[in-house]
Every structure is written in structure tokens, then in C-alpha cells.
Amino acid sequence: MLSWIARGLLLIAGLVTGWWVAKDAVNFSAIQMTVAILIFVMVLLALALSPRRWADGVRRIFKRGD
């Protein structure tokens, strides 16, 4: 499951990186990983800035366990 998330992030990051850097460039992988980390941080930031929806989801998960 975690590998799917990583592959998805790297796929999107590869597409974005390919707009500015040639795919056969030596530093393509490093730039792709940097873009993937930035995308991951932006997703986490979006989740952090919507605390009410996040808290409701967490409450629902723990409520099911009772």
C-alpha cells in the first residue's frame, strides 16, 4: 500500500519535473524526488489546514471501534 502511494507521488512528480528538466539529465531523479516531497508536504498542509474535517474523520474511525 505504501509503495502505491510512493509510486503515485513519483509518477506525478516525474510528469511535473519533465516539464523543466530533460529526462536523461543526470540530476533528474534528485529533482523528481524533491518535487515529490513538495507535493507530499502540500497534501499534508492541506489536511492540516482543514482541522474540522480531519477531526471528524478521526472521530468516526475511533467511534466504529467501540
pLDDT in tens, 11-38: 999 999 999 999 899 999 999 999 999 9
DSSP at 21:
S
pTM of the model: 0.69
Question: How many angstroms separate the Cα of 18 from the Cα of each of 3, 34, 45?
Answer: 22, 13, 24
pLDDT in tens, 41-56: 998 888 777 777 767 7
Q: Where are the alpha helices (DSSP H) in the chain?
A: 2-18, 28-48, 51-65
Q: What are 61's three cell numbers?
A: 474511525
Residue 6: pLDDT above 60? yes
Residue 66: pLDDT above 90? no
| CA-based nearest residue to 13, from 37, 36, 29 | 36
